[in-house]
Structure 1
Amino acid sequence: MTTSWEPDAEGTEQEPGVDSDGAPSEPEEKRQEPDVAELEDRWRRALADLDNLRKRHARELERVRAEERAKVTAAWLPVIDNLELALEHADADPSSVLDGVRAIRDQAVSLLAQLGYPRRDEVGVAFDPNRHEVVDVVETPDAEPGTVVRVLRPGYGDADNQLRPVAVTVSRKPG
């Protein structure tokens, strides 16, 4: 913004909006009032916009969560259908029912892997506190100390994205 200096009654130049003693003249004060009001209005509008953005984000987040829950639930429906089918045939040959239950378990494990949680149940690997939960420690002469010798409960997921750790029995030195 450029300002022009105007001479006053005595012929000396002075800043516009400033009287001869250097104090702001009334027009300058009145000119600042709309600026403050305008800034306050802009500030209030920005706060309202931020509040609306927060509300919109919360609605969008809830919508996405509901969609994801629906997708996962729909993915599990075939597993439930197959369990009901197995229960209908419970009077059949026990070995065929057992085969059906195993197939359903495999279907469920496959679904968990598709959702990002692959099954972990390796034996003979080194104990990793990020993936394993020690339930028991046994003396085993034919296994290196700190080796998983038995899986008591499989885990699901990777180290970065773990649903639950593998519950294991770990070997230690005999002695």
Structure 2
Amino acid sequence: MDYELAIENAPESIPGGTGVLLIHPSTGETDRIDTDFLKTDTDRLLVISTRTTAREVQQKLEYYGVDEKSADILDTLSVERGYSRRSSDRVHYVSSPDDLAGIVETTREFLAENEGKRRVSLDSITEMAYYADEERALEAVEEILELLEEHDAVGLFHLSEEVHDDADVAAFKELFDGIVYLDEDGTVEAEF
């Protein structure tokens, strides 16, 4: 199954099972790329957020016109920070961004329980590595990529390049079939 890819300077579509790494500066405006990825050619989507709360993700989806009825959100911050949580069928929580087993398990359940074209956005690997460590984050990303392949889904994974050393960035890049580079000025380039 192929998925349309609404990212400039990237292929028009990608096959199911493809993971795309979005490398961006820490100040980069990734919301447009993320939401264009999520709202194109999709039946169900999962946003794994290690950077913002579920409420902030919902506001972003609404602002960029992503169909919230098709969205599940995994909030990794609210429990640890003691924020109030409103559980629903579509909003899931794990205890903290370093609960990598919980993140992988929620992704597994989402992909197993939903049919059709499914997309996953993980924003961001950088936060996962900050809370856990590079090696554990790398393993979790590998596991999620395997799940995408198994379920014929696609994913977009955010990585803030300057926060990681070159060897770690290279290790993450090796895992992915496609890499999208976002520059400070908003220029987008892609390697597939």
Q: Shorter-chain TM-score category? A: under 0.3
Report the TM-score when normalising by structure 1: 0.23
Larger relative contact order (CA 8 Å, sep ≥ 6): 2
Report the structure, 1 or 2, having the larger strand content: 2
Report the TM-score when normalising by structure 2: 0.21
Report the structure, 1 or 2, having the larger helix content: 1
Kindly name which structure, 1 or 2, has the bigger radius of gyration based on alpha carbons.
1
